[in-house]
Structure 1
């Protein structure tokens, strides 16, 4: 009977630990998503439809588990660029920490740097010298 009580206690403890870990990871994921959504919102704030690609730029964002940037994000030059880039830096560091903390793996492919920004149908889009080379874009 004593052994059974110990086994039940261990099973309950392990089960509680696992669900607690899952909840913590879920919270961490939600924090990252909120940070990313804020960055996307800032990237487009104060901007009109894209009619002049010179009014737009892009920046690397995120962290792949194998290293390197997860992608690139387009932003209007009409925003507070320093504050925006600081948020990207914070997000990228948070994603790197998340990857390490949770043992995240990725495909380890290299994210191709865009050649620039172009306006298509009033929206800014990343452009590439070789369009088929674009793997990850935001």
Structure 2
């Protein structure tokens, strides 16, 4: 990881959970949730720079409990804002890289269905808002 980021283990877990949680939220809103989750996760794994290293690290610190989309959203949306805030304070360029990476993963996941779906569009809006609240 870059010397410009000095993240605690908890910070790293928050960032990973936020990114993978965003993909999980979008997949839950999709007509093809398994395909959306797979494609979105693969897009996260294509990230570069310090964020790419962080998202590609083998870890067991991603915890996304919840049995409903609402419960997952209650956890993931604030985590996205927290992750973006943490990164903005340390390296604004990496915060932008994180936002772009997550939005690219959402775009890839949303493309798994041929026509736009209102639930996917709305979930993308909520995630985008959380990413830009910092």
Question: TM-score under structure 2 normalisation?
Answer: 0.32
Question: TM-score under structure 1 normalisation?
Answer: 0.31
Higher percent of residues as strand: 1
Higher percent of residues as helix: 2
Which structure is larger by alpha-carbon Rg, 1 or 2?
A: 1
Structure number with the bigger relative contact order (C-alpha 8 A, sep ≥ 6) is 2
